[in-house]
Amino acid sequence: MKNIVNYSLLTLTTAFLFQGCKPDLDVDVAAAKGSADFSKYVAVGNSLTAGYADDGLYLSGQQASYPSLIAAQMSEVGGGTFTQPLFTSKPNGTGYLTLTGFSSTGLPVLETVSTDLAVRGVTTPDPVLNPSGVLLDKYTDPINNYGVPGIRLSDIADANYSRRNPLYERILMDGEVGVKPYLTKVAESQPTFFSCWLGNNDVLQYAGSGGLVPLTPVPAFQQLYGVLINTLTQNGAKGVVANLPSVTSVPLFNTVLATVSSTAKAQLKLALQANPKLPNFVVCQSGTPDRIGQTSRPADTLRIIQLPIDSLYGGGQGRSLLTLSVRNNPSLLGMLGQPTGAYWRSFAAQNGTTVQNIIAAFKLDTTQAFGFSPNNPFPTGLVLDGREQDVINSYTTQYNSIIKAAAESKDLAFVDANSFMKQVNAGLLVDGMDVSGAFISGGFFSLDGVHLTPRGYAIAANKFIQTINAKYNSKIPLVSVVKYAGVKFP
């Protein structure tokens, strides 16, 4: 049964209660803002806070960020100016996905907008945060939205982080690059009220890389989150914090990558039919070629696991799921079962070495069937196996306990985003519109399957506003969700 949320009705009821009552304006605003001071609202977070959508940061997505929507409503109760580092002169920003149609089998056809981007130069690439090695147009005026796509909680004290992430580098003065960590930048903002939704990427980057990007150790997460909240509240500011949804519940994992996994499963079965002597799907684990530079394990500790082909289904509940790298490189599926070293040649080039060195170091035999032979296994970075999914769930639970405890210790408003996302997946009726976590048709998630549509961000903004109102006895009006679109159809 759908949860019914009629934001228009709630707003109308609030307006009716105050109709006909015309006290002095200052008194009215003081009553509406409750015990909080919204005169300088600052938003701290990652891509969700920045308004990232459709696998990119671009102007119309930024304008629909949930902090921007909250700030607009706060202006009714004493909120001040809210400035974002917008891509105004080059609105395509980093580029983004668009839906151009559907295939004959009903799958979405996506294309990337890659023209007129806000790129000002090039720099040293970062394999996770900046693989193309771009520098983006600067925005160094004072801001209120400190959402930095890609940032983890574990990155906030790293002075060198801005050299890796161009979306943080662009909001720093030239002399601050490689010097000023995110925590210091946030501390300078001195808010009277803040929102903090940070920590998602500490899990998501591990999941999206098949476990190659390490999870933040729980003690480090606790220490850094405590420092961040202490920094934000040091001048008496009040605020709202949100916990982390389960990453395997978003469409990227339960729909997009599950579809890729199903395609791979079919490819594997065809290969088995052609050669019944092949073993099950073979995946390498720790100490493997795709962990070069990330492990001190010698080559002889390379471990192999064999996964039953029927385990390759994904769905966020399953045992094996292919990762983003496979979605972005569909030719990998065609290599399955083939006697090829094509993947390892590409990997060697990316790591500045030769395929001969890779083969020698890890005793590979590229004449064997790729993905079926222990001597030519499918790389661990391309598979999120069941064990890794269990690790993700465990860490998410521990991180969320830390976030809730921090909120309670500082008497802050707390948004249970994890529970709310489960409600979204079950389906909501919002202002007469059906909204769910379904990919494309649900209206909540954008085309990348992780970030939100303008409608999704409006719904998220209202969840934050309702939580703020309940905690601080304020009466911030809700966002009119019907004004904001879901996925744009061609």
Q: What is the pLDDT of residues 120-164, one digit of tens each?
A: 999 998 888 998 899 999 999 999 999 999 999 999 999 999 999
Give Rg (Cα) of the chain. 24
**Three-state SS at 121:** strand
Contact 96, 112 (CB under 8 A): yes
- For the question of whether the overall pTM of this predicted structure is more than 0.85, the answer is no
Contact 166, 366 (CB under 8 A): no
Distances (CA, A) of 362 to 229, 271, 387: 45, 25, 23
Residue partners of 37: CB distance under 8 A and separation at least 6: 78, 192, 193, 238
The per-residue b/e assignment along 55-88, b for 16 or more CB within 10 angstroms, e otherwise, is bbbbbbbbebbbbbbbbebbeebbbbebebbbbe
By DSSP bridging, strand 193-197 and strand 41-45 are: parallel
How far is it between the farthest Cα atoms of the chain? 84
How many Cα neighbours within 13 Å face the side chain of 362? 29
Q: N- to C-terminal Cα distance for the chain?
A: 31
Q: Quick one: which of 473, 422, 480 has its CA closest to 455?
A: 480
| C-alpha span between 477 and 157 (Å, rounded) | 36
Q: Quick one: which of 401, 415, 407 has its CA closest to 468?
A: 415
Per 3-state DSSP, what percentage of the chain is helix, strand, and coil (rounded to 5)?
Answer: 40, 15, 40
By DSSP bridging, strand 41-45 and strand 145-147 are: parallel
The per-residue b/e assignment along 187-226, b for 16 or more CB within 10 angstroms, e otherwise, is bebebbbbbbbbbbbbbbbbbbbbbbbebbeeeebbebbe
Cα pseudo-dihedral 166, 50, 180, 243, rounded to 10: -120
Q: Where are the beta strands (DSSP E) in 370-480?
A: 383-385, 413-415, 428-430, 433-435
Contact 231, 187 (CB under 8 A): yes
Which amino acid, one-letter code, is at 368?
Q
**Three-state SS at 344:** helix
For residue 194, give the H/E element and its range: strand 193-197
How many Cα neighbours within 13 Å face the side chain of 109? 8
The whole-number mean pLDDT for each consecutive block of 10 residues of the chain, a chain of 490 residues, reads 45 35 38 89 98 97 98 97 98 96 83 96 90 95 98 98 98 98 98 98 88 90 98 97 89 65 61 58 48 35 47 44 62 80 83 82 84 77 74 94 98 97 94 93 93 98 98 97 96
